[in-house]
Amino acid sequence: MKCPACDAEVSEKAVYCHKCGERVDSGGDLLMPSEDQQTQLPEDAGPESDNAPAEEPVVQPASPQADAEAAPQSVPEALAAQRKLADEPEKELWKGTYSNKAMIGAWLACGLVSVALLAIGVWLMHWIPWVWWVVLVVVLLIWPYHYLLLKYRRLSVRYRLTSQRFFHEVGILRRVTDRIEVIDMDDITFEQKLLERLVGVGTIRITSSDRSHPLLMLRGIERVKKVAEMMDDARRAERIRRGLHIEQI
């Protein structure tokens, strides 16, 4: 076979001419791509290059609704929320007065004093007959006195606790009512004596920033522990409620 360029004799299996270097294989144009074909590779011809730039993450634009929810409330909206909280109904949580059980110590003392006086009267009546009548009158006066004292204490005080205020009413013929905002209560404690613990009564001490009653003592309260916890819960709930709408302004 001859080279088409220089007419030199080349082997049938040769691809290039050994003399001029010209390609002598007739199917070479089909087998080997041209320079333009080598430089321009199709996009799906092979795997991506390691140096290919990474795709940038697509950032989704925030929706107007999300922006509205994230944006702080305006002053009119905050004032409207404040008025809504102020219009919440006031709920009554507890009502009470001086308990009958609060005088258990006084009743026991009356019983002991009565027995002692009667014993002294019986012992002295043989020498001084009129002493017996004195002892009998004293005993008969002790019990009515404590009974009337109990009625006076029950009728002269009234307590009422709501979700926002504490009402304290004093007096029988002349009734005076004071109100304390539960948010103004600084400290609520209760105390019980030995006999009071047996019947579940006690005294509640309220310390507040109220000018009329910076220190208020509620004596003879039945279920004193539960009532004190109820007052403290109402105070904390009201402070949280007021704090929420204050932060919204």
3-state secondary structure the chain: CECCCCCCECCCCCCECCCCCCECCCCHHHHCCCHHHHHCCCCCCCCCCCCCCCCCCCCCCCCHHHHHHHCCCCHHHHHHHHHHHHCCCCCEEEEECCCHHHHHHHHHHHHHHHHHHHHHHHHHCCCCHHHHHHHHHHHHHHHHHHHHHHHHHHHHEEEEEECCEEEEEECCCCCEEEEEEHHHEEEEEEECCHHHHHHCEEEEEEEECCCCCCEEEEEEEECHHHHHHHHHHHHHHHHHHHHHHHHCC
pTM: 0.60
The number of domains in the chain is: 2
Q: Mean pLDDT for each consecutive 10-residue tract of the chain (249 residues)?
A: 76 73 60 45 44 48 45 53 63 94 92 90 84 88 94 94 94 91 92 92 93 90 95 91 54
pLDDT at 192: 94
Give the C-alpha separation, 20 to 3, whole Å: 9
pLDDT at 239: 86
| Residues 96 and 10 placed together within one structural domain of the fold | no
Q: Is 227 part of any domain?
A: yes
pLDDT at 83: 58
Q: Is 26 part of any domain?
A: yes
Range of the domain at 181: 92-247
pLDDT at 229: 95
pLDDT at 64: 44
CATH number of the domain where residue 109 is located: 2.30.29
| Residues 224 and 126 placed together within one structural domain of the fold | yes
pLDDT at 124: 84
pLDDT at 85: 56
| Residues 230 and 120 placed together within one structural domain of the fold | yes
Vertex 36 angle, CA 30 and 40, to 5°: 105
pLDDT at 80: 57
